[in-house]
Amino acid sequence: MDKAYEGDETRQLALGLGFIPVVPPKSNRLEPWEYDREMYKRRNEVERLFRRLKGFRRIFSRFEKLDAMFLAFINFALIVDGLR
């Protein structure tokens, strides 16, 4: 999540589902909350991984019709990315 989803309703939904939201409050919020800054910084790593996966045309256009084949190609793409 990022600051676009920092509303009280979204936070309560995430907490209700058992997730720990790691989103910083907006600077103009009257009652800011504490959040894990290091974990929020690692969000960028996940976003960059998704960008690299979208470089594989079969993934972003979903050529595979079967879920098992799609998951297999994602695993293949992750292996190729790890070997780079």
Q: How far apart are the first and last CA of the chain?
A: 28
Residue 81's domain comprises 36-84
What is the distance between the alpha carbons of residues 50 and 26, in angstroms, rounded to a whole number? 26
Whether 30 and 44 share a structural domain: no
pLDDT of residue 78: 92
H helices of 19-66, in order, are 37-53, 57-60
Q: How many domains does the chain have?
A: 2
CB atoms within 10 A of CB 35: 16
CB 74, CB 57: distance < 8 Å: no
Whether 21 and 42 share a structural domain: no
Whether 77 and 62 share a structural domain: yes
Q: pTM to 2 decimals?
A: 0.58
Residue 23 backbone class (left: φ over 0; alpha: ψ -120 to 50; beta: rest) = beta
| Confidence at 8, pLDDT banded by 50, 70, 90 | confident
pLDDT of residue 33: 82
Segment 30-49, tens digit of pLDDT: 888 888 888 888 888 888 88
